[in-house]
Structure 1
Amino acid sequence: MSDKKVRVRFAPSPTGPLHIGGVRTALFNYLFAKKHGGDFILRIEDTDQTRFVEGAEDYINESLTWLGMNIDEGVKQGGEFGPYKQSERKEVYVQYADQLISDGWAYYAFDTPEELEAKREAAEAEKTKFSYDMNTRKDLNNSLSLSEEEVEKRKSEGVPYVVRFKMPENEEVSAVDMIRGEVKFNTAILDDKVIFKSDGLPTYHLANVVDDYLMKISHVIRGEEWLPSMPLHVMLYKALGWEKDRPEFAHLPLILKPTGKGKLSKRDGDKAGFPVFPLEYTSPDGEVASGYKESGYLPEAVVNLLALLGWNPGTEQEMFSMEQLIETFSIERVNKSGARFDPEKAKWFNHQYLINMTDEDLAKRFMPELKEKGIDADSALVTQVVSLVKERINFISDLWEQVSFFFVAPTEYDPKVVKKRWKGDVPAFMAELAIELGDVSDWKSGDIKEAIAAKIEAKGLGFGLVMNAFRLALVGGGFGPDLMTIAELIGKEETIARIKAAVEALA
């Protein structure tokens, strides 16, 4: 790696919500920058105005903030290399497009979309493929085939044109990808890509090369779908005289569907019921897509999950804080092949983070839901309650189902448990137990158990049968943590009241 300052950029287009594949790209850029004491830049690539979506830029910022990726420079943060939005840098690109034309590396093309479509159709009819390249450019409508006077005339008359990069003929070019090693290509198989459009804006290719150079980007870490563009970008650095300042490239593997072939899509998430976006997103036409945050995932769990999609720490360790990831991350340990997304593993990570959270913190996060349900519970009680069930939950939203009976007496009883446990001498025994428990002076789990055990022994009943009936009375079913702890926490009066209510309801 060179000794120049590490500066990386995450450069999404504001065309909708940020897919977790994009989030993973942002994360790997962030980890790489922080590992090497560098800068993480957020640049908005909005040169395709036809696909611009209102609010998408704010969504990108909010997503990265929620996940704990602090942006060093960007539209909101500012910085000495701004503006950080490509639509605000138009004049910059015109200058370099003009330079490429005057140096013979690019040319004006006046072909209409209809003319190009006709060429494509004609090629298809002959079972070939049309490509705008070194073999066809001389026969097309451009400044290489037209006279200088004709070109100037068309420009002055406002005839729409694009600028195409003039790919040299039969030139061997190689570049090193930090993940994939040396990548070689021959310009003979490459077409003359449009680098400047008729709307006065550059395409991604010119804009990102110019911006990366001017913003002193040292490493370009992006998805493997951009690998086919790497030869053109390498050639643009050469054509602009910036070869020695060319950043190092790394193309990340795809995130694949949980099953089957292809990369993870929103459709996969919709079908299997898991999010593929960090935050909930409402499209301009009102369609709502679920987000990890709103689905109950902790940001730390999402970061941990994404870090291990395509990167291998080289050890058995799976749980990493952001600080540990920064310390451990290396681009050399990123895999070449795609990483399969596992929704169950995502839940597992969230579960791990919840059980490692302090009981106080978990209780604090659960309190708003209790308030929503009109329950004004003591925080010390809530802390005790969540500590009993945290091993059983994947999300904070799972807590109510596990602990509701601590705050609200059951109004229904599981019929299967009733049939199995509430029979024979049990109902009469429970009615008597309600009276006897009134004599327990020190309402602690050990004393409660002792009193019940003595009563069971006196009556000659099965301990398991009675305890299951007791649980049914207190919680409404056959689930929940230690029964005597439940009785102690809900209190003496409430325990007795619930036994009486069950005896009455199940008579």
Structure 2
Amino acid sequence: MLDRAEIDALFPVDLPEPAQWEERYPPRQVPENAHVTRFGPSPTGYVHIGNIYVSMINQSIAHRSEGAYLVRIEDTDQTRVVDGAVERLRRAFEFFGVRADEDDNNGVYGPYHQSQREAIYLSYARQLLREGKAYLCFATEEELTDIRKRQEAAKLPTGYYGRWAIWRDADPAAVQAKLHEGAPYVVRFRSPDMPKPRAEFIDAIRGPLSAEDNRNDAVILKSSANPLRLPTYHFAHVVDDHLMRVNLVIRGDEWISSVPLHMQLFDALGFTLPTYAHIAPLMKKIPGGKRKLSKRKDFEASVGFYIEAGYPVHAILYYLRGLANGRLAELPLEEALEAPIQLDQCGSAGPLVDLAKLEDISADYIGTLTSRQVFDAVRTWAAEHDPKLVVVLDAERDLALRALAIEREGVDNPRKDLRKWSDFRQTYGFFFPQLFTSLSGASDDRLTSLNVAPVVAATFIRDLADDYEHLTDPQEWFSQIRELAAKHGFASTAKEYKKNPDAYTGSIREASQLVRVALTGSTRSPDLHAIAQALGDKEVLRRLRALAAPDEN
């Protein structure tokens, strides 16, 4: 073991002592049972919907207890840092309203980037070296590879431990010789000589857990060959959670196996171990089972998908909260968004992400909004994702509001055909002359499913256009279609037509659908009279005449 002077010579001469950091970052003044939580994303450029899920849980738990929720950028692996990634994370959190109480822009326990906390980590690494709880390791990549191969050949656990830890108890003279050569080294944690058979702890979600205790001498400070001496995640999170006074660590369950090492590090540094809560990952159903929602395989894993598709934020948050705590899915949306998430109600099995369920929730939510609220939301979404639609909405604001009001306002059961803002073009686009393509004659493919002869369709629609009255009363308005249909050989009811199909050209249903397709381009739409009123008489006539026009061929 090197003496103190030799150890201190490896670090900057003005490096603060740990006591100075403890003074700078004192215990928080929060209620006794308050939870201080953190979310630590890596700035890799990709924002997973699971990031929103876990950060939402962190925020809710902290706020319910009058604690604090912070975001700490874990960028110690500089090879994975992507330019602009932090800004994308910030925008995602802002979009979903999962704002941190402390982050780059606010908080006294920063910096909130691990890459900016180098001096802090060096202070505590030096302390462990002084106390003999860490040591310098000069093992090369070739030596480490050879160790791993020999362990595999002997069917032993792989790692740097026991007799395989070739620098654990090296002669100080050998260490000094390597330092004199300028050989690069890492700092390794000296795991306990006598580890427990099992490490036991209480998980706030899963209850009592145990795992094989750690016996690996994990790297805590990366290679001295790097200008920036950064720690590994294992060491950094221990130091940061202590100094930021985080007392509840909510993170993915992939970290359960690392808890024994983390417990040893907290103990070696003399820190109080926080409570751990390991969240099950979001899952995707696949044939024969399910798997973790993957950023490489699943488009719905990306936050960008939900933003670009235009799912309402409140609907997404309601859905995610229901995945976290099933009871919240049974509450009305507004109540569920206010209700606290409870860790003991988070399952240990990963919840399934079901887009069909999300769309149902989203449709129900949009169904509660007024036409003006929907218009504003669609326009806000389109400003970012569909600029051409913005031009149409601005030019036809009154028409858009009339269209959106159909079967939405003043009814007990509003339409739910709009599930996300990107559906607006498909669902309401036919209202706008700029977006609607009128039928080009009675042989237009969009009429095929009606099984009405083109000549019959053209004649019927032409006569309707010639005598069309833009009546405000729905019954009177439809009567003109019914009476004209009878003159053109359409049965008055579908039942009557079914009894004797050879006697009719179709039923009133087909006649009505001819008008519907002429006005909307589809056999499915809101109330036909309401559509006509929203379009106005001139546009109705223009569309009828387009269908009635002789085919060019």
TM-score class, shorter-chain normalisation, is 0.7 to 0.9
Counterpart CA distance in 2 for 1:384 and 1:158 is 77
Counterpart CA distance in 1 for 2:68 and 2:520 is 54
The C-alpha deviation readout for 1:233-254, integer Å capped at 9, x for no partner, is 1111111112xx3211101112
> Aligned with 2:38: secondary structure?
strand
Number of the residue aligned with 1:132: 160
The C-alpha deviation readout for 1:148-198, integer Å capped at 9, x for no partner, is 2332343344321111112211335422111111223453x5311111111
Matched, 1:249 2:276: yes
Candidates 440, 445, 449, aligned match of 1:414: 445
Number of the residue aligned with 2:176: 152
Deviation at 1:104, TM superposition (A): 2.5
Matched, 1:277 2:306: no
Number of the residue aligned with 2:537: 492
Counterpart CA distance in 2 for 1:83 and 1:61 is 16
Structure 1 alignment gaps of length 5 or more: 280-290
Q: Once structures 1 and 2 are overlaid, which stretch shifts more, 219-228 or 455-464? A: 455-464
State whether residues 285 and 291 of structure 2, in contact with CA within 8 Å, keep that contact through their aligned partners in structure 1.
Answer: no
Question: After superposition, where does 1:391-402 map in structure 2 within 5 Å?
Answer: 391-402=416-427
State whether residues 279 and 346 of structure 2, in contact with CA within 8 Å, keep that contact through their aligned partners in structure 1.
Answer: yes
> Aligned with 1:107: secondary structure?
strand
Number of the residue aligned with 1:23: 52
Counterpart CA distance in 2 for 1:422 and 1:471 is 16
Counterpart CA distance in 2 for 1:326 and 1:36 is 14
Counterpart CA distance in 2 for 1:433 and 1:325 is 51
Counterpart CA distance in 2 for 1:325 and 1:492 is 45
TM score, norm. by length of structure 2: 0.80
Number of the residue aligned with 1:167: 191
Deviation at 1:264, TM superposition (A): 1.2
Change (3 A) 1:374 1:307: closer
State whether residues 443 and 492 of structure 1, in contact with CA within 8 Å, keep that contact through their aligned partners in structure 2.
Answer: no
Counterpart CA distance in 2 for 1:428 and 1:392 is 32
Matched, 1:293 2:307: yes
> Aligned with 2:542: secondary structure?
helix
Deviation at 1:375, TM superposition (A): 6.3
Residue 174 of structure 1 aligns with an amino acid whose one-letter code is: E
> Aligned with 2:86: secondary structure?
helix
Structure 2 alignment gaps of length 5 or more: 1-30, 408-414, 492-507
State whether residues 450 and 513 of structure 2, in contact with CA within 8 Å, keep that contact through their aligned partners in structure 1.
Answer: no
Q: Once structures 1 and 2 are overlaid, which stretch shifts more, 324-333 or 58-67? A: 324-333
Number of the residue aligned with 1:193: 218
Change (3 A) 1:445 1:185: closer
The C-alpha deviation readout for 1:279-331, integer Å capped at 9, x for no partner, is 3xxxxxxxxxxx3201222222222232233x22436616534x734523111
Number of the residue aligned with 2:375: 363
> Aligned with 2:200: secondary structure?
strand
State whether residues 418 and 472 of structure 1, in contact with CA within 8 Å, keep that contact through their aligned partners in structure 2.
Answer: no
Counterpart CA distance in 2 for 1:330 and 1:293 is 27
Counterpart CA distance in 1 for 2:170 and 2:512 is 95
State whether residues 61 and 340 of structure 2, in contact with CA within 8 Å, keep that contact through their aligned partners in structure 1.
Answer: no
Deviation at 1:452, TM superposition (A): 3.3
The C-alpha deviation readout for 1:214-244, integer Å capped at 9, x for no partner, is 01101000000111111111111111112xx
The C-alpha deviation readout for 1:85-109, integer Å capped at 9, x for no partner, is 1111111111111111222222221
The C-alpha deviation readout for 1:354-374, integer Å capped at 9, x for no partner, is 222222111223455675565
Counterpart CA distance in 2 for 1:185 and 1:423 is 75
Q: Across the two proteins, how many residue pairs are aligned to each other?
A: 480
Counterpart CA distance in 1 for 2:455 and 2:543 is 20
Question: After superposition, where does 1:284-323 map in structure 2 within 5 Å?
Answer: 291-309=305-323, 311-314=324-327, 317=330, 320-321=333-334
Deviation at 1:333, TM superposition (A): 0.3
Change (3 A) 1:301 1:425: closer
Change (3 A) 1:406 1:335: same
Candidates 432, 436, 441, aligned match of 2:463: 432
Candidates 399, 402, 416, aligned match of 1:381: 399
Counterpart CA distance in 2 for 1:315 and 1:67 is 18
Number of the residue aligned with 1:285: none
Counterpart CA distance in 2 for 1:83 and 1:197 is 20
Matched, 1:184 2:171: no
Counterpart CA distance in 2 for 1:326 and 1:226 is 30
Counterpart CA distance in 2 for 1:90 and 1:425 is 81
Counterpart CA distance in 2 for 1:237 and 1:278 is 34
Question: After superposition, where does 1:208-247 map in structure 2 within 5 Å?
Answer: 208-242=237-271, 245-247=272-274
Question: After superposition, where does 1:38-57 map in structure 2 within 5 Å?
Answer: 38-57=67-86
State whether residues 319 and 329 of structure 2, in contact with CA within 8 Å, keep that contact through their aligned partners in structure 1.
Answer: no
Change (3 A) 1:305 1:419: closer
State whether residues 37 and 248 of structure 2, in contact with CA within 8 Å, keep that contact through their aligned partners in structure 1.
Answer: yes
Number of the residue aligned with 2:236: 207
State whether residues 437 and 448 of structure 1, in contact with CA within 8 Å, keep that contact through their aligned partners in structure 2.
Answer: no
Deviation at 1:505, TM superposition (A): 3.6
Residue 103 of structure 2 aligns with an amino acid whose one-letter code is: G
Number of the residue aligned with 1:284: none
Candidates 60, 71, 75, aligned match of 2:100: 71
Number of the residue aligned with 1:92: 120
The C-alpha deviation readout for 1:238-283, integer Å capped at 9, x for no partner, is 11112xx3211101112223214431112331xxxx331213xxxx
> Aligned with 1:339: secondary structure?
coil
Residue 394 of structure 1 aligns with an amino acid whose one-letter code is: R
Residue 349 of structure 2 aligns with an amino acid whose one-letter code is: S
> Aligned with 2:509: secondary structure?
helix
Percent identity, please.
Answer: 32
Counterpart CA distance in 1 for 2:550 and 2:393 is 25
Counterpart CA distance in 2 for 1:457 and 1:36 is 71
Q: Once structures 1 and 2 are overlaid, which stretch shifts more, 96-105 or 494-503? A: 494-503
Counterpart CA distance in 2 for 1:334 and 1:406 is 45
Q: CA RMSD in A?
A: 2.7
State whether residues 27 and 69 of structure 1, in contact with CA within 8 Å, keep that contact through their aligned partners in structure 2.
Answer: yes
Question: After superposition, where does 1:453-468 map in structure 2 within 5 Å?
Answer: 453-456=482-485, 461-462=490-491, 463-468=508-513
Number of the residue aligned with 2:133: 105
Number of the residue aligned with 1:282: none
Matched, 1:35 2:35: no
